[in-house]
Structure 1
Amino acid sequence: MRSVKMPSNVEIKAKVDDLENMKLKAKEVSGSDGVLIVQEDTFFNATTGRLKLRQLQNESSMLIFYNRPDQTGPKFSEYHITTIEDPESLKVTLGKAYGIKGVVKKKRFLFLVDQTRIHVDDVEGLGSFMELEVVMKENQTTEEGQQIAEDLMKKLDIQENSLITGAYMDLLLK
């Protein structure tokens, strides 16, 4: 059996006081207007990592498994994504098998800067956040990904004290 390397990224997530101001900064840094994506993520109980069904308005759905430490600052994450044709049926099946941990609903504004996805998120029940996902290239080190994330944090004026550790689901459960 051949081992397949999972795709990976370096990610940071921060609380944002002013959603519109962050969108303007992301627009400036990316040189684009960004794209609005309406998402609903259903998280399932998992013995390792996190497992979520992401349903996108007017787009195909995805089952996403990812493993990421809960720490502030840039963090390395490995993930696997499967496109789903019948998300409602899969949600019922996984709910019965593992139990549903919770649901996160958000409006995400996506901006791209080279290999980095800037997400400016309005999360139902939580507020405004910004997330950087530096999608790692083959043979790129975690340190290189962290440096890219830290450079973008400076350009977006993200302060260390606004960084958060876990996923939105974790915050909703608190």
Structure 2
Amino acid sequence: MRNIEIKAKVRDLTKLMDKVRSLEPQKCEIIKQEDTFFNTSNGRLKLRKFENGTGELIFYNRPDTEGPKMCSYEKSDVSTENFNSLHSVLERSLGAKTTVKKTRQLFIVDQTRVHVDSVDKLGNFMELEVVLNDNQTPEDGEQIAFNLMTKLGVEKEDLISGAYADLLNKI
């Protein structure tokens, strides 16, 4: 699976939320997540836990650059029954780097997942994930991302590279 992503610091949460809602999203959902990042030799591996005890194991690879960037990823659902044992196996075999706790407001706008995240110890952020169809190029996704950035008032100086885990490791 592929998408084009951007991540940005949010300066004015109320203003951003008003702009997101003006896009008339098809879906709006609040999700509490806890992501544990593990040491890997390439890409990133995280185990995401949801409030109900289920989760996802997610491997992804993307450059640590500002602005729209290509991300390839694979996900596997994790049931409540085996979440803790999987976490333990991964931690013992790979070592855990960082845990990120956040409340995510998820909006779906056409083929884009708009995330408005409140990240413990970091503050508020916004992510765009333009999910590419098989017949779309990365450039198509970048154009969609740039258009949404403009509509949402995302400035170039607000863009960040890397993951929330990287930012947490710097504090």
Q: State the TM-score, normalized to the length of structure 1.
A: 0.93
Q: Indicate the RMSD between aligned Cα atoms, in angstroms.
A: 1.2
Q: Is the 8 A contact 1:43 1:169 kept in 2?
A: yes
Question: Contact conserved, 1:70 with 1:166, CA < 8 A, in 2?
Answer: yes
Give unmatched runs, 5+ long, in structure 1.
1-6
Match in the other structure for 1:163: 159
1:1-174 paired onto structure 2 within 5 Å: 7-31=1-25, 34-58=28-52, 60-85=54-79, 86-174=82-170
Deviations 1:71-104 (A, max 9, x none): 0100000000011122111111100000000100
Looking at structure 1, the residues matched to 144 and 162 of structure 2 have their Cα atoms a distance apart, in angstroms, of: 20
- Find the aligned partners of 1:112 and 1:30 in 2 and give their Cα distance: 9
CA distance in 1, matches of 2:25, 2:135: 28
CA contact under 8 A between 2:32 and 2:103: conserved in structure 1?
yes
> CA distance change for structure 1 residues 119 and 59 in 2, over 3 Å: closer, same or farther?
farther
Q: Is the Cα contact below 8 Å between 1:29 and 1:156 reproduced in 2?
A: no
Q: For the residues of structure 2 that align with 1:158 and 1:56, how far apart are their CA atoms?
A: 28
Q: Which runs of 5+ in 2 are unaligned?
A: none
SS at match of 1:165: coil
Contact 1:30 1:111 in 2 (8 A): no
| TM-score (structure 2 length as normaliser) | 0.95
State the partner residue of 1:4: none
Q: Distance in 2 between matches of 1:33 and 1:73?
A: 24
SS of residue paired to 2:160: coil
Q: How many residues align?
A: 168
